[in-house]
């Protein structure tokens, strides 16, 4: 989708028009007859967020109602959802371009509508012999946006697009080595430092978690470290972004039953998310020192696959009893977190991972399950930004009693607790490796990949969490006490 700035007069523009109608101030500019205005008011009265389409052969006028007096975060989310509906309506009438205007509409509302359109129009097309219809061109009245502001948003949305592409790709076409190579190329373009560790280097680092999970696979693992260090960074010590990169998860020898193995190409969504967040920050020159640590492998039951009862020695020397080989994500993340703490002394570690079914059972597909250790202030900021961009966080307790559930009789800890509190004990396992470093755990299992369309997210990879973390980093200065 191409978005350009150009004056859009609702009464004179030759093309399809979306008119954003937030309050009665807009009445004077509505290109409608008296009867049409009466009809519009009836629809608006019945549903403040209705969309009313008028046929203006050969074009169409879409009046998108919204309530400017609704709390801002809810209003902007409803506008994004209206944008999803407009995209569907344009495709239904076989139109691929539209102009956006309104009256009394603020820039944030216009950006929310554009964001909804961009996210809604995405589909994973590369294996289709016939490309589905898309909205090709959107014109926005420059009274709402400057080119620089639009460009910043476009760069962020481009990173969400590529995250979704990576997560949607099957492992046959994107394994650990291939993904690492793609990240290396992008990093070079953005002047981001990229270090790719191959299996030999990972062995020399003694990353027992990553190597253990990889033992069943013919494909070698990779460990990618991306560093973005702007000269004007507000933080001396970096924020470490750790992402789970299980390129495909069969469950290993604890092989997944029935349909649970479907969609497991998405088990690397955490790594794709964290790489995309760092690239978006670099794209838009955010003044925050970041390092992304991305362990990558698939989890297969072949060769000399690791097994329940094995004991792995992790990067930091912790011994881990393997209780379940399908609890592999936390093993590779643990090595990455320990490496971050030992080599970068970060002021904050945040991980993102499609980690547990327990997280999905806790909150469904409506938000991210999260926990924090010694990171109350940044966590509160993250929650605030989650509410603002509507990628919301549900905090679970992190009481000391949960540590008892991952104690092992034969090693320091075990990689899986009991069925109860499964999302929490997974977080507790990872927190062990953060040690005293402030730590936030984001379990994105319910939102990274949707089996069917959900609002402005098409079925498949969502990119959920990128807008959240990017907005957090935009406002990160408030955590610096400067």
Q: Other C-beta atoms within 10 Å of 188: how many?
A: 11
Give the model's pLDDT for residue 215. Answer: 98
Rounded to whole angstroms, the Cα distance separating 334 from 341 reads: 11
Question: Does the pLDDT of residue 482 top 70, yes or no?
Answer: no
For domain 2-141, give the fold: 3.40.220
Q: Where residue 173 falls among pLDDT bands split at 50, 70, 90?
A: very high
Residues 25, 118 contacting (CB under 8 angstroms): no
Q: Where residue 383 falls among pLDDT bands split at 50, 70, 90?
A: very high
Give the model's pLDDT for residue 178. Answer: 98
Q: What is the mean pLDDT of residues 37-53?
A: 94
* Better pLDDT: 299 or 29: 299
Tell me which of 232-236, 260-264, 282-286 is least confident. 260-264
Q: Is there a cis peptide before residue 199, judged by omega within 30 degrees of 0? A: no
Q: What is the mean pLDDT of residues 401-425?
A: 96
Give the model's pLDDT for residue 481. Answer: 65
Taking only the tens place, the pLDDT of each residue in 316-367 is 999 999 999 999 999 999 999 999 999 999 999 999 999 999 999 999 999 9
Q: What is the mean pLDDT of residues 91-106?
A: 92
Where along the chain do its domains lie?
2-141, 169-479
- Both tokens of 292, joined, read 């992304």
**Residue tagged active-site, from 78, 265, 300, 330:** 330
Give the model's pLDDT for residue 143. Answer: 92
Do the domains 169-479 and 2-141 match in fold?
no
Rounded (10°) CA dihedral 333, 405, 327, 312? 70
Rounded to whole angstroms, the Cα distance separating 326 from 59 reads: 54
Give the model's pLDDT for residue 439. Answer: 98
**Residue tagged active-site, from 81, 91, 237, 256:** 256
Taking only the tens place, the pLDDT of each residue in 110-148 is 999 999 999 999 999 999 999 899 999 999 999 999 999
H-type helices in 47-125, by residue range? 72-92, 107-121
Tell me which of 67-71, 109-113, 165-169, 446-450 is least confident. 67-71
Catalytic-residue membership of 244: no
Rounded to whole angstroms, the Cα distance separating 299 from 296 reads: 10
Q: Where residue 261 falls among pLDDT bands split at 50, 70, 90?
A: confident
Catalytic-residue membership of 126: no
Q: How many percent of the chain have pLDDT more than 70?
A: 100
Using DSSP's 3-state secondary structure scheme, residue 225 falls into strand
Q: Which CATH number fits domain 169-479: 2.40.170.20, 3.10.20.600, 3.40.630.10, 3.60.110.10?
A: 3.40.630.10
Question: Does the pLDDT of residue 237 top 60, yes or no?
Answer: yes
Taking only the tens place, the pLDDT of each residue in 185-205 is 999 999 999 999 999 999 999
Q: What is the mean pLDDT of residues 400-407?
A: 97
Residues 117, 83 contacting (CB under 8 angstroms): yes
Give the model's pLDDT for residue 430. Answer: 98
- Both tokens of 188, joined, read 């070079």
Question: Does the pLDDT of residue 260 top 90, yes or no?
Answer: no
Task: Give the mean pLDDT of the chain.
Answer: 96
Q: What is the mean pLDDT of residues 252-277?
A: 94
């Amino acid at each position: 989708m191409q978005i350009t700035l150009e004056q859009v007069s609702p009464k004179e523009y030759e093309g399809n028009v979306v008119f954003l109608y937030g309050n009665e101030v807009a009445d004077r500019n509505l290109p409608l007859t008296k009867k049409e205005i009466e009809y519009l008011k009836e629809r608006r009265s019945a549903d403040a967020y209705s969309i009313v389409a008028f046929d203006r052969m050969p074009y169409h006028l879409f009046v998108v109602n919204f309530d400017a007096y609704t709390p801002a975060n809810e209003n902007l989310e409803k506008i994004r959802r209206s944008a999803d509906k407009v995209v569907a309506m344009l495709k239904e009438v076989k139109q691929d371009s539209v102009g956006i205007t309104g009256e009394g509409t603020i820039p944030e509302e216009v950006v929310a509508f554009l964001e909804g359109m961009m996210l809604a129009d995405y589909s994973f097309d590369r294996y289709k012999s016939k490309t589905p219809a898309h909205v090709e061109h959107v014109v926005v009245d420059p009274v709402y946006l400057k080119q620089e502001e639009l460009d910043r948003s476009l760069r962020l949305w481009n990173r969400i697009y590529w995250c979704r592409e990576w997560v949607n790709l099957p492992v046959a076409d994107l394994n650990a080595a291939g993904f690492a190579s793609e990240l290396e190329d992008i990093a070079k373009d953005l002047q981001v430092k990229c270090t790719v560790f191959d299996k030999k280097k990972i062995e020399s680092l003694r990353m027992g978690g990553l190597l253990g999970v990889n033992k069943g696979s013919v494909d070698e693992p990779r460990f990618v470290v991306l560093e973005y260090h702007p000269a004007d960074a507000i933080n001396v010590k970096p924020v470490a972004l750790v992402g789970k990169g299980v390129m495909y998860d069969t469950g290993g020898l604890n092989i997944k039953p029935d349909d649970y193995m479907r969609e497991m190409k998405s088990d690397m969504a955490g790594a794709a998310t964290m790489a995309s967040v760092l690239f978006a920050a670099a794209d838009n020159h955010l003044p925050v020192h970041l390092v992304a640590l991305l362990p990558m492998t698939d989890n297969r039951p072949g060769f000399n696959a690791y097994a329940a009862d094995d004991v792995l020695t992790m990067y930091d020397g912790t011994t881990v009893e393997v209780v379940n080989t399908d609890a592999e994500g936390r093993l590779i993340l643990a090595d990455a977190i320990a490496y971050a703490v030992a080599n970068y002394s970060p002021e904050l570690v945040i991980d993102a991972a499609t980690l547990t079914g327990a997280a999905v059972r806790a909150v469904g597909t409506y938000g991210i399950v999260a926990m924090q250790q010694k990171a109350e202030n940044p966590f509160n900021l993250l929650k605030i930004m989650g509410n603002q961009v509507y990628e919301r966080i549900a905090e679970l307790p992190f009481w000391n009693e949960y540590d008892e559930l991952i104690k092992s009789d034969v090693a320091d800890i075990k990689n899986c607790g009991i069925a109860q509190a499964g999302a929490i004990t997974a977080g507790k396992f990872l927190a062990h490796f953060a040690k005293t470093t402030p730590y936030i755990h984001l379990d994105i299992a319910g939102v990274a990949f949707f089996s069917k369309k959900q609002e402005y997210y098409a079925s498949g990879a969502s990119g959920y969490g990128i807008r959240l973390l990017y907005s957090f980093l935009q406002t990160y200065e408030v955590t610096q006490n400067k």
